[in-house]
Every structure is written in C-alpha cells, then in structure tokens.
C-alpha cells in the first residue's frame, strides 16, 4: 500500500509530538535539527520529514501518493 505525502503541516501531527512541535520525527529531535518539509502517512503513523528523511522514507516504503493540500 503506498504511503501518502503532504506538504509539512504541524496540524497533521498530534499535539506534543515531535512533528507537532515543528521537528523531524523520522530522525528525532536529538539526531536532527532540520526543519521538516513533508508529512508522510506511513504504516508506522504520521512522520514529519526533513529533506534527508524524505529520501530515506521513500527508499523504505516506495514512491508516495502526493497530496498538495
Ligand atoms: Zn531529519
């Protein structure tokens, strides 16, 4: 099942989570200080992704369906 990619939006993430607080949830706050550029719906939940994380997520799960908004 393909994953879904959105432009990063903190409102797509639960309050208080790394993604909801403007961090990269794929790498985690301690390992990544980059701003997320996308929000992905993955089998492991919503992931906020920096550009480096986008490459890793798409390598792992395959090409996403893009949602523009
Ligand atoms: Zn990152």
Q: How much distance in Å is there from the Cα of 3 to the middle of ligand 1?
A: 18
Q: Tell me: the pLDDT tens digits for 7-36? A: 999 999 999 999 999 999 999 999 999 999
Domain ranges of the chain: 4-66
Q: How much distance in Å is there from the Cα of 6 to the middle of ligand 1?
A: 16
- Quote the pLDDT of residue 25: 97
Alpha-carbon dihedral 51, 63, 3, 65, rounded to 10 degrees = 100
Name the pLDDT band for 68 (thresholds 50, 70, 90): confident
Tokens, residue 29: 């706050």
CA distance 51 to 58: 11
Q: How much distance in Å is there from the Cα of 36 to the middle of ligand 1?
A: 7
- Quote the pLDDT of residue 69: 63
- Quote the pLDDT of residue 1: 78
Surrounding ion ligand 1 within 5 Å at CB are: 24, 27, 32, 34, 50, 53
Q: How much distance in Å is there from the Cα of 26 to the middle of ligand 1?
A: 6
Q: What is the mean pLDDT of the chain?
A: 96
């Amino acid at each position: 099942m393909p994953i879904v990619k959105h432009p990063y939006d903190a409102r797509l993430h639960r309050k208080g989570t790394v993604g909801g607080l403007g961090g990269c949830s794929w790498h985690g706050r301690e390992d990544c200080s980059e701003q997320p550029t996308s929000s992905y719906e993955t089998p492991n939940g919503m992931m906020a992704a920096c550009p480096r994380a986008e490459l890793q997520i798409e390598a792992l799960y395959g090409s996403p369906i893009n949602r523009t908004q």
